[in-house]
Amino acid sequence: MQFTVGIDVGTQALKALLWREDGQIVAVQSEQYPVEYPKPAWAEQDSGLWWQAMLRAIPSLYQRSGVSPADIVAIGIDGTVDGFVPVSAEGKALTPAFLWMDRRAVTECDGLARRVDQSRIFNMTGLNLDASHTGAKMLWLRRNNPAAYARSWKFMPSATYAVYLLTNQCMIDYSNASSTMLFDVRSRCWSSELLELTGISPGLLPELKRATDIAGNLTPNAALALGLRADTVVVVGCGDEHASCLGAGVIEPGVVADIMGTAEPVCVPANAPVFDPSHLVETHCHAHPDRWLLENPGWVSGGNYRWFRDEFFAKCGGPESVSYETLNAEAETAPPGSDGLVFLPCMMGAMAPEWNSKARGVFYGLTLAHTRGHMIRALLEGSAYALRSVVESMQRSGCAIQHIRAVGGAAQSRLVRQMRADLTGIPVGRLSTSETTVLGAALLAAVGAGLCPGLQEAANRTIRVVELNEPIATNRPIYEEAYGRFLRVYDSLRSSFDLEPVS
């Protein structure tokens, strides 16, 4: 038997997965690292932590499983989108990595908006003019750190940088490129118009390839450090939500991937580019070469839950590591709708019910009758309300949705899945593995190395729906009222958000 390794360069951890060609997931390893928030709306990370995490995670896979490193033939990479590392010609990171949730580049977006109609950018790129996207962050770097910008050889998203560390090759796939705001999503090439408009040199951008293309073999140093064969191939890889769609088998139209991690991207495949008139849902390239992906890149979701746990349990005299299962159990003590308590999941700006870099998180409707359980449930429901707004935009754009596949760690919670089914009126399925993102990276490697003829077949070897949550009829009217309240609260605060200072 031959094996592939998938690597997911996530926001708060790097995961590695060992996949066998018959579809079995043999081992998974996770290595955590911190995120830095030096100023409001800033989020960055030491990219050197990614390499150190790979050095620990990959050998752990074959050491724990007993698999011979000689039988590992390929590595696939996925990483967070909407961020980048400026890299010098010597291969050194010049600043901390800009992360997807960083929205410091509001001034740069305002400047672009004065020079070009935002609908023009959306029609070319499929993206909103927003501070989350990589192109805006590149402009921020040029204005605020011109020395680092001038020394930059390439701007690399996390997956590209990981592939570069392994192979010394600099490549980006269409899915990752389609989140830069510098890419023509219809023709799948860098947009000369936007590069001219922004003044960003095309030479600063990686070479475009398909996600399953082989970037190269491991360098001798990387092979030695990881204990793998020097002829191990590394594929180009893709963005994290795109990999999660592959690992969830969400490749054909009609099935939504609700990816519940630090962020919560929501995606549905399409056979051709489809553009949402409301702009709530963007148009990306899928990691599959013949598909596009209607996608909301995701609001902070699991990150909110982790923040609540860390700030209100560990720092307030509670246990050092309260489990999410414990929080979920406490949330179940409150009824659907949380007795009128609403949470807006806008801790790092809003992605739903609209895009708004200046929006902030809010608990609304607190009374002395509310308990901690109400607050925990309201926090979970806030993300479910955001999901509903995205799904409705997909449906208005012409997407017929039969069911939702919940993926990620939070997808294992029956409470979390049921909320989403009740709010959307659509069945929500749990899969046989929660590790769909890093699995997707391993499947890319399997196809690139020739172990599988195609991505759908590779997914079918591994995953299946094991549980389906149908909407509960008695909860539907409760959540209809609660969802309306969520929208009204957001609308009433929009003008207050506009008063937020801009860095």
Question: Is the same domain home to 381 and 237?
Answer: no
Question: Is the same domain home to 116 and 210?
Answer: yes
CA atoms within 13 A on the CB side of 308: 28
Stretch among 37-51, 114-128, 190-204, 489-503 having the lowest mean pLDDT: 489-503
Question: Is the same domain home to 171 and 280?
Answer: no
Q: Is residue 395 part of a domain?
A: no
Assign 322 a pLDDT band (cuts: 50, 70, 90): confident
Q: Is residue 256 part of a domain?
A: yes
Question: Is the same domain home to 207 and 140?
Answer: yes
Which residues, other chains included, contact 61 with Cβ-Cβ below 8 Å and sequence gap of 6+?
A: 5, 16, 17, 18, 26, 27, 28, 29, 67
Please indicate whether residue 298 or residue 152 has the higher confidence score (pLDDT). 152
β 263-270/255-259 pair status:
antiparallel
Q: Is residue 33 part of a domain?
A: yes
pTM: 0.89
Rounded to whole angstroms, how far apart are CA atoms 378 and 372?
10
CATH number at residue 348: 3.30.420.40
Q: Is residue 55 part of a domain?
A: yes
Q: How far is CA 35 from the centre of its chain?
A: 15
Residue 275 CB neighbours (<10 A):
16
What are the pLDDT digits (tens) for 205-238? 999 999 999 999 999 999 999 999 999 999 999 9
Question: Is the same domain home to 175 and 153?
Answer: yes
pLDDT at 500: 61
Question: Is the same domain home to 211 and 280?
Answer: no
Which residues are registered as beta bridge partners of 362?
344
Question: Is the same domain home to 294 and 306?
Answer: no
Instruction: Tell me if residue 78 falls in helix, strand or coil.
Output: strand
Question: Is the same domain home to 126 and 266?
Answer: no
Mean of the pLDDT values across residues 384-396?
97
Mean of the pLDDT values across residues 318-343?
91
Q: What sign does the dihedral 324-329-333-334 (CA atoms) show?
A: positive
What are the pLDDT digits (tens) for 130-177? 999 999 999 999 999 999 999 999 999 999 999 999 999 999 999 999
Stretch among 115-119, 262-266, 317-321, 335-339 having the lowest mean pLDDT: 317-321
Structure tokens belonging to residue 295: 């996608």
Q: Is residue 501 part of a domain?
A: no
Strands (E), 311-450: 342-344, 362-364, 403-407, 428-431
Question: Is the same domain home to 236 and 201?
Answer: yes
User: How much is the mean pLDDT over the chain?
Assistant: 95
Residue 69 DSSP code = G
| Structural domain boundaries, residue 155 | 3-241
First to last CA, the chain: 54
Q: Is residue 58 part of a domain?
A: yes
Question: Is the same domain home to 327 and 311?
Answer: yes
Question: Is the same domain home to 342 and 373?
Answer: yes
Q: Is residue 27 part of a domain?
A: yes
Rounded to whole angstroms, how far apart are CA atoms 394 and 389?
9
Question: Is the same domain home to 138 and 234?
Answer: yes
Q: Is residue 393 part of a domain?
A: no
Rounded to whole angstroms, how far apart are CA atoms 107 and 103?
10
What are the pLDDT digits (tens) for 14-30? 999 999 999 999 999 99
Look at the chain and report how many structural domains it folds into: 3
